[in-house]
Structure 1
Amino acid sequence: GNGIKPGTYPKTCSACLGRCQINTTMKTPFGMFTSISPCAVCKARGYIIEFPCDNCIGSGIVQRNKKLIVKIPP
């Protein structure tokens, strides 16, 4: 799943505006230098989960135990 509670919607990340990356420009004696890095606020997803799923706590993964019977031939 996507980790979002059913019936709710994700919010666009206000740090990267949904672009998943942050552009940082610095002026140096050699000219302008731009670095692009993944957005740390939304973890490069472009959105924030305000209401995470109760089952997976926002991860999108639910662990379950399952009993298997495996037959090994002699």
Structure 2
Amino acid sequence: MRKFHYLESRAIIRYFAEKYKDQGTDLLGKTIEERGLVEQWLEVEAHNFHPPINNLVINVLFAPLTGAPSD
């Protein structure tokens, strides 16, 4: 069996959504229009929500764990 290693979170969720789409809700959309909307909102999340949340997680969660100063 071939092993895959995905490092990017959106690639990981797309992989699992596609792999298991027949076992529940098709999270990527049943039509090309629905898929387009899903992709649109994944891009909105990536460019508008991820950057500030990433900074927050680094400062609140990881800085104390590593002893680094948090902002």
For the aligned pair, the TM-score class normalised by the smaller chain equals: under 0.3
Provide TM-score, normalisation by structure 2: 0.23
Instruction: Identify, as 1 or 2, the structure richer in strand.
Output: 1
**Higher RCO (C-alpha 8 Å, min separation 6):** 1
